Structure 1
Amino acid sequence: MSWMYLILAGIFEMIGVTMINSWHKKRNWQSLFLLFAGFGASFLFLALAMKELPMGTAYAVWTGIGAAGGAILGMILYGEPKDAKRIFFIAMVLSAAIGLKLVS
């Protein structure tokens, strides 16, 4: 169950990061609410995951999901560059997170 909590934490981290960009562009209360809700849920699920998972593993996977997911959402939602080098390095971040799962 701890890995499910960690994946949820990463997904909510992606929502929080996306809402930072939305807040800067729109300055509406919905973006601000979702920003705080996304990060709040992210920290809650990270804390739940860390009851069973080592801190270093949990933090590395959480940041990997958030960073890679945020970059992917930026490409999809905000037209950020989609060049091959960028996608390659995002894949490396995700493969490192999967590797940590396999050895933990």
Structure 2
Amino acid sequence: MEIFYEMTSGYCYSLQESVEYLDELERLKKREGVSHQDDHFDIVPLEAMTAYKPVIACKSGGLVASVKDGGTGFLCYSTSEEFSLAMAKLIQDPQVACRMG
């Protein structure tokens, strides 16, 4: 079973493109005066939903608006325990993953 998940915001430290893109977004946030907002750019969850996959994401920022907890995936607090429990639910009951996807 393939599951997409996001622990922070889909940021990959090892990809130069991700580093450059995040730097650009941070500059735009400062320029537009919204750098104080705790918001995520919901690209990864949207890609997962487009691929009919359930999403496991942090319960914060824009993710709360784009991921329906228990509907299109699970929203978790940023702990390994919460993410592990959400993954276990999908692994133990593949029908839940299919329904969410």
The normalised TM-score by structure 1 is 0.32
Question: Which structure's residues are more often strand, by fraction?
Answer: 2
Q: Return the structure number with greater helix share.
A: 1
Q: TM-score, normalised by structure 2?
A: 0.33
